[in-house]
Structure 1
Amino acid sequence: MLHSLTLASRTPVLIALILGVCLVQVGNGILQVLLPIRLAEAMAPPLAVGAVASGYSIGFIAGCWAAPWLIGRIGMVRAFGAFALLAGAVTVCLEVLPNPWAWTGMRVLMGMSYVGMLTVAESWLAARAGPGARGSVFSLYMVACKVAVVGGQMLLASPDLPGAWLIAAAAVCYALSLLPVAAVRELPPSMTAAQARMPWRYVRVSPVAFVGCLVIGLCNTAVTGIGPAYLAGMGHSATVIAVIMSGVQVGSTVVQWPIGRLSDRRDRRLVILALAGTSAATALLIAAAGGASETILFVLFTLWGSAALSLYAICVAHANDHAPPGEAVALSSALLLSWALGAALGPMLATLAMECFGSRALFVYVGAVSGVLALFSAWRRWRMPQQRDPPAPQRP
């Protein structure tokens, strides 16, 4: 009861942080679809298109190193404001300087800004949610982010909105994301500059969480990026592909919160083990199904998405359960770096496997990598059975 009252007192802070990130995700949803379309309309060379896409990833990885340093010096709210305003200003420049090579540099800055805002929000959420509710809070956070991204992408469905207006809308969303965060009256968790340590020093905090974030990047980006091409190679129409791929997002959105609630009541390593095992088994079933009926593929893809896309929230919650006091910022940045490295390598490794062994190797690769996470989680649970997640705090 006391824990429920404590969490309720923190609810305004949690809502403000989630709302701020949702505004960021609306802007991201717009640009994820709009920029490739604009490049295609301008008939940009493939090298330029690839450079723009890679620039964002490079900025994301660089931001994982830079964000804790900046946050440690100027504080969470000021850092979030700096990142939000930088993202908004750079987004406006996309319209002012419509050159693919200029866009590459801008996307580097946007990637840095994005990971900086996520680092602030996720570390603050972890510090304020408490161990007994982290799974639930991060699950709701992930669901809200997915809905916001889709909402941003749906704005492009309106033929009455020109590209300049959409870019302006994205810039406004980035700038407005500062408002709910700046309006929080509660002081954010403190962090000194000395605590912005090398990210990989945090692997020992929770090896399962770090391996989990790496595997999520290796697998999820491969399926979401290459999955449509895989289905097209099986002879499915664009409409069928869209329906099947939507099952990935729908499945994870539906089960994310119940899984988060479950992880608050059980050893999170067991939940990670179950999700990784389900992801591995379902991926291998998709590979074996081949050209199965559309209904079977939709069910399998939905089941895979329900498990694979729900892992991140549980991994972040598990890592923060064992974080050293006052170091949630650097830990969140390190987890994002682990995911980013996996996301950069995943599509390349998957396409290499497909070139060597055929298209079905995509899901054999996903199943094998997910299986490694399941086995590692089981091994850690067996080696350290007493490392339980801390109980919910009992505060007056």
Structure 2
Amino acid sequence: MRPRSNRDLFGDSQRVGGGGNEKSKPISSRHRPFQICRVDTTAAHRLRALPRLLGAQSLRRSRDPADHWRHHGPNRFPPGTGPFKFVEWTPQQRIVFERFPDYWGHKAYVDRVILRIIGDTTVSFTALQAGDIDMTERAPYEWIKEIRDGKLKGIGFAESRYSAGRAIEFNVADPPFNNKKLRLAVAHAIDRKEILQAAYFGFGEPSDQVYPKGHKWYFEGVPSPAYDLNKARALLKEAGYKGEEIEMLGSMGGTQEVEIATVQAQLKKIGMNIKIKMAERGANVQMRRKGQYAFKLSGDPGVNPNPVDLYLPIHACESDPRNRNQNESGYCDKEVDALLRAAAAEHDENQLRALMRKVVTRLQEDAPIVTIGHTSRFFALRDHVKGFTTAYDGEFVWGGGGLNRAWLDK
């Protein structure tokens, strides 16, 4: 099916004027607001996708987003170079965009997009079913399973295959997980497939590296701790663990409650006494940055085309273990640090691969982070939404598709 033009894009006929004898006039659905729900209510996540959505008219206001925010406030933020221009932002309610006709790339089919902020995935999906919105991001996995199995009619989905990496991250700067044998005991006790099945309804692929198997930057043949409960128990004994309670940190909401409970049950099999601590996102971030945790669930930012951009920020040595930036584990290995710095300056791909293979090998041996796998994220959308696709990282707009290529067939 081809994208319809403004002229032939219309839905139900609508009478215009006041007389009963007026003829029906088709109304182009391009002029009907395209309503989307964004579930995450934290400002950082709401604004992450906006620069790609917004057009050059916004960009001309300021070329420095931080400066623009300081001087003009959130209702006139942000600049960008995308196919839509910013109209308004009502905090905690909605963000409105309009089509930017001078966009340099593929111009949008729809004239107006309303991004509604709904703080609960169930509420957002109910709104989608009721027809109050056209599309929602981060649709609940249980509902996506129902759609896939043909049990929910009138709704489809777009999948972002590798938008979220799942992992267990240790605070290696402090006891008890400054003990490598204890970290490796956990690594050998984790059943990745069971975790993904329990928390994500099977929408995920187990992996022992930051990149998924089969990816260009996944290194075949690099040894990693395999699932082996006997090995895990032996390492636990060698680490000197005697049943002390260890707290595991998670974030409230989403799938983490199920995910962390599954990990807790798996570690109980080898004799570890794990207490779960769920914290609101802001408090969670503060504890991670200050090193005030033992180990935690971690969400990697998906797959990045450049492995240095993915590995270096979370593994490079940082100066203050009580004021961490992106390296929340507090891991600092001089050899790994030097390899990553060399990789950042390397332009030959073969040499880069050799350096990164050494980095991955050392990280598997040290286990500051144990990768669980990669999960999909989903946009659920009404059947009348046509042409929308998303990329591996779950963006609204990307090089091969997105909102600027979507239209409403109604």
The interval holding the TM-score normalised by the smaller chain is under 0.3
* Bigger proportion of residues as strand: 2
Q: Which protein has the larger Cα radius of gyration, Structure 1 or Structure 2?
A: 2
Q: Which has the higher helix share?
A: 1
Structure scoring higher RCO (CA < 8 A, sep ≥ 6) equals 1
Q: TM (normalized to structure 1)?
A: 0.26
